[in-house]
Amino acid sequence: MRRPDMRMNRLFALAAAMVVVLAACSSSGTTPAPSAASAAPSAAASEAASAAPSSAAPSEAAKAEVRIGSDNFYESKLMAELYAQALEHAGYTVTRQFGLGSRQTRVPIFTKGLVDLVPEYVGSGLGYYDKTLVTGDGEANRTALQAQYDKADNLATVLAIAPGQDTNAAVVRQDTAASLNLTKMSDLAAVQDKLKWGLPPDCDKNPLCKDALESYGIKYPPKVRRALAACDAPIAQALQGKAIDFAWLCSTQPAIAQFGFKVLDDDKKTQPAENLAPVVRNDYLAKVDKAAFSAVLDAVSAKMTTDELTKLGVKVGVDNEDLEDVAKQWLTDNGLLS
Amino acid sequence: MPDILGWLLDPINWSGPEGIPSRLIEHLQICLLAVGTATAIGLPVGLYVGHTGRFAGLAINLANIGRAVPSYALMVGILPIALNLAPSVGYDPDLGLTFLPLFLAMTLLAIPPILVATYAGLREVDRDLIEAGRGMGLTERQILGRLEVPLAVPVIIGGFRTSTLQVIATATIGAILSFGGLGRFIIDGLANKDDAMLFAGAVLVTVLALLVDAVLAVVQRVLTPRALRGKPAPRRPSDDDDEDRIDPAMFGVRTVDVSA
Amino acid sequence: MEGQPLVDFDWILSHLDDVVERLVQHVQLSIIPVVLGFLISLFLAIWAVRQPRVYGPVVAISGILYTIPSIAAFALLIPIFGLTLITAVVPLTTYTLLILVRNNASGFAAVPADVLEAAEGMGYTRWERMRRIELPLAVPLMIAGIRLAVVTTIGLATVAAILGDSFGGLGQFITEGLQTFFPTKIYIGAVLSVALAFLADFLIIKAERRLTPWATARAGRV
């Protein structure tokens, strides 16, 4: 009579123990990049994190540990990895918290102070707060975004923008472009009813989608429309498989090169400037030498053109190389790790 | 707190091709098709395996694959194949986008509960009864049709219930590939940051699932042979492998009176 | 995805540490909900057996929780709990409740009434009766439920990829594979989650054999 009794007790004890152990194991959410082979000596800067902010000349103690976040797609992670390796090379300790979902989830995490630095696209970043302020000028967007952060209790600083952008691209297949004579978006109005349009589900409420299309003379909503998220794999595949004839993709997306799509010229400049820029919390900047810190990131930004972004995208997306390796190679090639 | 009730009561949301009734019909259509196809596949296989006892392990393990494969990954993984096959097989690539991936993923999801329940239901039938049937000269098919299946019906329908519930709840992912259905409200609500639409969509899915389940529960009770209602399920020593014994209770068949 | 070999084994071999890391994350994501779900449903089941009128509502509520699409569940929880393990575990746990509550309650209810009467006659308190008779005899049904819950949760846990790198598990492979058109990652993610489900199922069966030795000697049992 006793044996089943003891077995049940053991079962419960085991279950309880497992819960406790697993809860403990999972309490640390940081996953440093698996094969990061950083050659930089890392300064013992973690004590500095609790030290008082120093406005003196840069010293080892002023390189506080920085937590870098990113969105959950390759380009954001790539930029974050570039920032991370550049900062590590300059002597900062970096904690990586990549893949924080989409902007909707990442912004609250940044605002709550769970990460210190994130890469941001100045157009969409500004549009998150106020869609009406977004322009086609990168520097203007940056200034406006900075104003948003200033309004929010001086939350963060938007550092210098990179020339490189990843903006929305209106894309068709080569055969469509050839048969309907399409080179720029203005050409679309004449043939709009012949196309199956792949538009994101938020197009109705998104001025960059609906208003932009209407400014090109396209009646909204188009006759045949499929709701597919922009820039994702499914919409690229749907375009390639001829289920749709028009798709919104991202300008540096590897699929464009892979499938040989044609990007239509945005001749009316409806799409925003989406230059990349690092956004860093001011309470973190207060702990370090702001000029030195910004200089490291500005150096990375200065060399990041749209061409470079696209090339790196192909390496990650088509050649399936690891982000860490691609980042390290690029930094080395551009003399940023010497 | 988003104004879910307001959204649900707004007459605009009840009209037109993007209104609740149209989406409801789209949703029910794909669920019906998927569960129907799954039944057409899972029921015969379950009947064969349950009656003969052969290949039970194989069938159940294969069925478990259907449960373990993530539906979203399956759907998005099927997409390129469905698109590439369109020209050669001859269907509109649009179907390859909006319909096929979702349909195939849902069918695969729907098969395991039906197959496993059919097998389990048949296995529960008293072996002595079947032997008696053979003794009386009934053919195997007659035994299956007149003895085993009627007794197994409550369990089989239980599997059907589980399957339908899962499909109704999961078919929402089709909206990711531009399918309509109730998932459209969830995906669009998410994209447009319209919380009222998002949660209203979730509420609609839940209500639909519960209603359908309630109807099927009544069907289950009605089709249960009176002799089996409310009696303890007899546990018989059976000569098949115990580890594949699956309990009918999993399919909502309450064969025991709980007022102990 | 054209012109690529279907599965890039070299990539898999050179990234074994990543694969293992994701596998471990996925195991975490799957075990915690099942264990929590089991404990909760055990409590609910015992309650339902004591107060039979509770059974209906309990199953109904579990059913409601089950049908809440995971996307909506995450949309609800992320603002509250952020991108943490809790956000993933809560819906995964509620999804197991439907399966486990039904099984656990049926397990208790299936104990023959005369056995219970005999125990009462022998002077067992209600609690002792629960522990020594009802629970052990309910084990087979409960374990059948656990098997189902584990297999289902392993499949469902791939949606946790929405939470990104730290908790994505095998679902993160699938998401990344889809984003960068790298089928190998998709296959690794899907195949491993199926393999994990089979392994878990197998282990549970083995555990069941040891927990219920009387079930293997069934001759003559009524």
The alpha-carbon gap from A240 to the nearest alpha carbon of chain B, in Å, equals: 9
Select from B23, B31, B69, B72 the residue whose CB has the most chain C CBs within 10 Å, as the one to mutate to test that interface: B72
Domain that holds residue C161: 9-212
What total of structural domains would you count in chain C? Answer: 1
Give this prediction's pTM: 0.79
Return the CATH number at B77.
Answer: 1.10.3720.10
C143 and chain B: CB distance < 8 Å anywhere? no
- Nearest Cα to Cα of residue A213 among A194, A188, A249: A188
Distance CA B177, CA B180 (A): 9
Q: Examine residue B233 and state whether it is found in any structural domain, yes or no.
A: yes
* Complex prediction ipTM: 0.80
Residue A59 confidence (pLDDT) = 54
Q: Does A204 touch chain B (CB under 8 A)?
A: yes
User: Which of C85, C159, C87, C78 shows the shortest CA–CA distance to A104?
Assistant: C78
How far apart are alpha carbons B15 and B24 in whole angstroms?
Answer: 12
Cis peptide before C213 (omega within 30 of 0): no
Decide if A241 and B94 are in contact by the 8 Å CB cutoff.
no
pLDDT tens digits for range B53-78: 888 888 888 887 777 788 888 888 88
Q: Is C181 on the interface with B (CB under 8 A)?
A: no
CB-based contact B127:B238 (threshold 8 Å): yes
Asked if C181 lies within 8 A of A34 by C-beta distance, the reply is: no
Do A22 and C139 count as a contact with CB atoms less than 8 A apart?
no
Residue B208 structural domain: 16-251
Tokens standing for C115? Answer: 């056995």
Q: What are the per-10-residue average pLDDT scores of chain B (260 residues)?
A: 86 89 95 96 92 84 79 85 89 91 94 90 84 86 84 88 90 91 91 88 90 90 73 43 51 39
Give the type of residue at B97: L
Q: Does B181 touch chain A (CB under 8 A)?
A: no
Domain assignment present for residue C220? The answer is no
pLDDT of B61 reads 80
Quick check: is C126 in a domain? yes
State how far residue B258 is from chain C, nearest Cα, in angstroms: 6
Instruction: Determine, yes or no, domain membership for B7.
Output: no
Judge contact between B46 and B118, C-beta under 8 A. yes
Q: Closest Cα of chain B to A93: distance in Å? A: 36
**Positions of chain A with pLDDT lower than 70, given as ranges:** 1-62
Which of chain A's residues have a Cβ under 8 Å away from the Cβ of B184? 227
Chain A residues within an 8 Å CB radius of B80: 237, 241
A175 at interface of B, judged by CB pairs closer than 8 A: no
Query: Nearest Cβ partner of C164 from A5, A99, A114?
Result: A99
What integer pLDDT is reported at residue C112 of this predicted model? 75
* pLDDT for A41: 33
Kindly state whether residue B50 falls inside one of the protein's structural domains. yes
Q: Which domains does chain A have, with CATH numbers?
A: 54-165+274-333 (3.40.190.10), 168-264 (3.40.190.120)
| Partners of C216 in beta bridges | none
How far apart CA A186 and CA A214 sit, in angstroms, is 11
* Residue B231 maps to a domain: yes
What pLDDT, on the 0 to 100 scale, is given for residue C218?
A: 43
Residue B2 lies in a domain: no
Indicate the residue of C67, C75, C189 with minimum beta-carbon distance to B169: C67
pLDDT of residue C6: 64
- The verdict on a CB contact (< 8 Å) between C71 and B61 is no
A-chain CB neighbours of B177 within 8 Å are 228, 234, 238
Subunits with 3+ C-beta pairs closer than 8 A to B: A, C
**Is residue B200 within 8 Å of B7, Cβ to Cβ?**
yes
Cβ–Cβ contact B191 with C under 8 A: no
> Where residue C180 sits, what CATH number does that domain have?
1.10.3720.10
**Length of chain C counted residue by residue:** 222
Q: Which of C26, C27, C59, C67 to mutate to test the interface with B (most CBs of B within 10 A)?
A: C67
